Chain A
């Protein structure tokens, strides 16, 4: 049954905040105001518009400028429906058996340019991203599919927004809490937000020097009094990996960037600077293989299974991620994610069993499919020209060689990569996929449903689509979890997108940085509203 009339979420959020704050930074320690945080950044974001991009490079620098309707509590590392608290929304309720979501908005909020915030901004934003008829179009819209169940958005008064759905979607709240779901101003054309920021967030964009620096300053009119503590944040762009690490070590930057911390780097850092605070947490990004379902021989299920069997997941995690990753299927594995398969369920999947036996089975399957020593399977593994991708592909190549596959590497520049994938112009791809929130809807609709633009392998199984739709509407957690587990197993067995592992992030910061708690997803914690510097 759908929960009705929950306690005012705003109060609940505030309570959680107080409890967490006192536990996180030591009870009784009062945060100091002031100071500028120097944060590491690895590259220019493709643009400054969060809704139009799908990379942590944008979220990291731009989240401080915006606000969501709801957000995950910054001080709790493990995100879940229970840690969702209101930002622009004070409270919300579900109605009509989960088909209507009503938000009561905060009053007196202003945009950075002084214009008042109201419900029409919320309607504008989500009509924009869901591609509502008559709404202006975004140049790029990677998460349109998230909002496919929204029938209409009503604004009965300036402080109330009503989302009316075609059918129940309990996950909607999780999707709205993602770092990818800020509220945009209705009075600024979306195209302008690619080069500047007008938001309601704790920081205003002061300056963007391409290739160098993204600088934000404190918003004195922020709707939460007393926040933010910081005077400003400087995202210093350093392209060279070695130089980045040296910068952190010598204090040129105070905190690292999410997705940038690897296990060996963390160990090295610990030795060099024993006082450095390093948090081991998941990235919510998985390493996977894309098999082109439209190209022979991947149309043959035996070949797909053989390739997936050939790659020893545990060895992968050891060799490529130096042990800093977890084996899992398409949903984030436990303990980081709640939907992940149990160890027993994982053991039966390709790549997780005895490596020697699985490789033998792989060779046998390939033989059945007509490939053997005199007539090997030849294929090219395509990947992006970035260290993480190349290492993954190199390892995969080596494993495939051991089952007699003649594999070569094709290194593709970032410029060409996604277009190549979308065109289906590849055989096997070594890929990284980020899942912003730990929710099946966020993951499955984007990556596995028939015809989804980001379903690069063009996997299409109507049966699985039906199961995905069913779980999306299921309010009961137990049955939903069972369905999701079934779906994950099917996806691995079908070879939709064999998951090699879920990497951990080793988030490092100098000890004087307080209240910056990395979450188990790199995409959602860059608001910085609680962070303060103890010096």
Chain B
């Protein structure tokens, strides 16, 4: 493990830095109570629209809430959504892909075209319809973003599964009496792992962006969870000219985290196999 990490660090220093940034963000989110300086929901009539300063590192918003603390706590929501949807979507997509790739029935074969269509469907639209259907809440947002991700994962896993299924290695194993399950677990899964890891890492960024867009449109995670996207909707736009920091910092937070996650995912992909066309 350490050898792999060392190699990664040497070959992709920027990616490693991005990975470290992601790690720091995750830590900050977990330890939010220690990293944040104030209660993110505490309103203060006397402290509205303060520019960044010693007491409020990133200023205050229209209700006098500390923006820095809100960004720290907002990381919780963004990361919770980003990581959970990627993990959920990755696992379920992996299973679907395996089944449709390995299975030989009509059912398995018919999954693919549906996946094809769903894959091209705009992420945000599906998420919108699902959120509207289930009502805005944290679990709903997670489901709404994870579900559209499944076909994307399934497609890649299916392709790999199909390719490996046809190899002589597997044929031999089956001829020797190995069960299908054993073949899947010992041969197919390890080979799909690389693509899966890269896909899920890349998805974290997309998920955060979609969650932000949902919050911006008013369909995201509701109060009192601070959410970066919601910090940018309605009230923020109104005060953008008077207090630009209200609009700048949440947007910058989203951009930086997504950038780091994308960079990390890129480097991972290059590291595992630069020819992976994902």
Contacts and interface: CB of A to CB of B under 8 A. Distances in A.
A408 B221 CA distance: 13
A410 B221 CA distance: 11
A320 B63 contact: yes
A527 to B, nearest CB: 29
Contacts of B242: 264, 267-268, 271
A386 B43 CA distance: 18
Given A240-B237, A262-B238, A267-B242, A393 B44 contact: no
A394 B240 contact: no
B73 to A, nearest CB: 14
A415 B240 CA distance: 29
A395 B62 CA distance: 12
Contacts of A133: none
Interface stretch (B45-53, B86-94, B101-109): B45-53
Contacts of B41: 394, 397-398
Interface in B148-164: none
Interface stretch (A64-72, A241-249, A435-443): A241-249
Contact of A264 (B42, B49, B135): B49
Contacts of A322: 48, 62
B241 A272 contact: yes
* Dominant secondary structure at the B interface: loop
A390 to B, nearest CB: 6
B150 to A, nearest CB: 26
Given A242-B240, A268-B239, A413-B136, A394 B46 contact: no
Interface in A238-267: 240-243, 245, 262, 264-265, 267
Nearest to B224: A409
A242 B41 CA distance: 23
Contacts of A315: 45
Interface string B41-85: 111111011000000000000111000000000000000000000
A319 B63 contact: yes
A409 B227 CA distance: 14
B62 A264 contact: yes
Interface residues of B, number: 26
Contact of B239 (A264, A409, A413): A264
Nearest to A409: B223
A319 B44 contact: yes
Contacts of A409: 222-224
Interface in B204-223: 218, 222-223
Nearest to B242: A268
Given A319-B45, A387-B235, A408 B224 contact: yes
Contacts of B64: 319
Given A319-B45, A322-B62, A387-B234, A411 B223 contact: yes
B43 A395 contact: yes
A319 B65 CA distance: 10
B223 A393 contact: yes
B43 A319 contact: yes
B74 to A, nearest CB: 15
Interface in A301-348: 315, 318-320, 322
A207 B223 CA distance: 39
A385 B63 CA distance: 17
Given A242-B240, A315-B45, A395 B63 contact: yes
Interface string A380-417: 00000111001101110110000000001111010000
Contacts of A393: 223
26 contacts: A241-B237, A241-B238, A243-B237, A262-B238, A264-B49, A264-B238, A264-B242, A319-B43, A319-B48, A319-B63, A320-B43, A320-B63, A385-B136, A387-B234, A394-B43, A394-B223, A394-B224, A395-B63, A397-B41, A397-B224, A398-B42, A408-B224, A409-B222, A409-B224, A411-B136, A411-B223
9 cross-chain pairs, A with B, having the tightest CB-CB distances, nearest first: A242-B237, A318-B45, A319-B45, A411-B222, A387-B234, A409-B223, A268-B242, A241-B238, A398-B43
Interface of A: 240-243, 245, 262, 264-265, 267-268, 271-272, 315, 318-320, 322, 385-387, 390-391, 393-395, 397-398, 408-411, 413
Given A240-B237, A386-B234, A387-B234, 4 more contacts: A265-B239, A318-B46, A394-B41, A411-B223
Interface of B: 41-46, 48-49, 62-64, 135-136, 218, 222-224, 234-242
